[in-house]
């Protein structure tokens, strides 16, 4: 049995931040019912026409984000859909959306209203700037969150601001939404009532500034962008080898001495370099010497030597290398997920490993409205003719 078995989630999300949150909940066993407009959620069409990155008109976005979920259609803009929404809410634990501020209220999804239907309901809204504050109505996507959260000025070498290669604005919002929802579930065990979870993508990025924001609070100085280097530790960087890059992350003085022995670089073993402040002052010289030494041989020669000396190091892996990495495979972090048409895709697995309620199963992402009958008939008790009538009127 999975950890969240028995929790029912109504998923009204779109694009990435919200669907990623509900993916995590679904992978851990929650019964996630994805409620889509009759024409389908926007993520369905992303890459859908790209034959290299789609299956039968379902693109890579939805192939990943849709797994382990059910799909029903419901036109929330139609007032006649409200009774169906309320009937679902009455049987649910969680309602999650990531509309712009104000849209959820207009669609009847405000927590106060849904709590009248089901006092135990937990609602969650992921927005760019949160539901309070002077910027709450500003439009936002991943890059907006990264820009307004400060991280772009810390990424790269400082010449131009750079966004992270991964969409951490969206994914961070989804992660924090999952944490907030599970906290509300725990609180409900004590209070017996649900509550609302308000997630701001900008808030999340500010939280991720962590000790760097604290440094600024102490000194008033903005930490510089140092590329793959570190503003304190040296050597701490990526270095070219004969066939790719490796990283070294030397934190302690003892590690530095072991590194010099492993790489046979006695010229760098000076009294000044034996302590971190001296190495920081000599960053350019040290990095240049390491780059010259490492370039002489391929990664598979250096890594065993470095690991034998207990040096924090790693190859810089591209996606092909990551997805065939023995450690990644041993952790079941690459999984086969079926498609309704019979083909299968290789996707990232579930990173949350629990000792007794961790069951890795991955159901196919649903076709649009695939579960209308199962949800409206079996869960809500509607007869087939009523469902047909709702469909004919464009409500489902």
Placement of tokens 């997805």 in the chain: 323
Placement of tokens 């000044």 in the chain: 272
DSSP-assigned states of every residue in 322-378: HTT-HHHHHTT-EEEEE-TTS-EEEEE------SSS-----PPPPPTTTTHIIIIII
Residue 217: is it exposed, middle or buried by C-beta count within 10 angstroms (0-12/13-18/19+)? exposed
CB 213 within 8 A of CB 206: yes
CB 189 within 8 A of CB 7: no
Residue 170 annotated as catalytic: yes
Q: Which of 11, 31, 170, 203 is catalytic?
A: 170
H/E segment holding residue 308 = helix 299-308
Q: Are strands 244-249 and 236-241 parallel, antiparallel or unpaired?
A: antiparallel
- Determine how many CB atoms are found less than 10 A away from the CB of residue 380: 15
Dihedral sign (CA 315, 287, 276, 262)? positive
Residue 154 DSSP SS3: helix
Residues 6+ apart with CB under 8 A from 25: 4, 7, 9, 32, 94, 178, 181
Residues 6+ apart with CB under 8 A from 267: 289
Phi, psi of 351 (to 5 degrees): -80, -10
Instruction: Tell me the catalytic residues.
Output: 170
């Amino acid at each position: 049995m999975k950890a969240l078995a028995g929790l029912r989630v109504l998923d009204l999300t779109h694009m990435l931040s919200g669907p990623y949150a509900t993916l995590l909940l679904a992978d851990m066993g929650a019964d996630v019912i994805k409620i889509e407009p009759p024409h389908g959620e926007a993520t369905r069409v992303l890459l859908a026409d790209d034959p290299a990155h789609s299956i039968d008109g379902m693109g890579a976005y939805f192939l990943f984000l849709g797994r382990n979920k059910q799909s029903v259609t419901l036109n929330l803009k139609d007032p006649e859909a409200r009774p169906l929404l309320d009937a679902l809410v009455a049987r649910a634990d969680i309602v999650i959306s990531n509309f712009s501020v104000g849209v959820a209220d207009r669609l009847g999804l405000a927590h106060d209203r849904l709590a009248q239907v089901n006092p135990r309901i937990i609602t969650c809204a992921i927005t760019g700037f949160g539901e309070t504050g002077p910027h709450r109505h500003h439009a936002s996507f991943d890059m907006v969150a990264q820009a307004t959260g400060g991280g772009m000025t810390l990424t790269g070498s400082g010449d131009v601001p750079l966004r992270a290669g991964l969409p951490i604005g969206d994914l961070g919002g989804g992660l924090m939404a999952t944490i907030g929802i599970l906290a509300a579930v725990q609180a409900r065990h004590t209070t017996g009532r649900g509550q609302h979870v308000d997630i701001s993508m900008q808030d999340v990025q500010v939280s991720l500034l962590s000790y760097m924001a604290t440094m600024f609070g102490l000194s008033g100085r903005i930490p510089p962008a140092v590329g793959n280097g570190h503003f304190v530790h040296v050597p701490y960087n990526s270095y070219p080898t004969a066939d790719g890059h490796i990283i070294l992350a030397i934190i302690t003085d003892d590690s530095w001495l072991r590194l010099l022995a492993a790489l046979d670089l006695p010229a760098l073993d000076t009294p000044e370099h034996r302590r971190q402040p001296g190495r920081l002052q000599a960053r350019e010289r040290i990095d240049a010497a390491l780059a010259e030494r490492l370039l002489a041989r391929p990664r598979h020669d250096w890594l065993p030597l470095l690991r034998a000396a207990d040096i924090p190091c790693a190859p810089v892996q591209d996606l092909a290398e990551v997805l065939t990495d023995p450690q990644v495979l041993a952790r079941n972090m690459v999984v086969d997920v079926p498609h309704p048409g019979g083909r299968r895709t290789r996707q990232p697995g579930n990173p949350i490993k629990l000792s007794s309620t961790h069951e890795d199963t991955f159901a196919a992402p649903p076709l649009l409205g695939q579960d209308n009958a199962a949800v409206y008939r079996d869960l809500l008790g509607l007869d087939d003719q009523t469902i047909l009538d709702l469909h004919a009127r464009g409500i489902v």
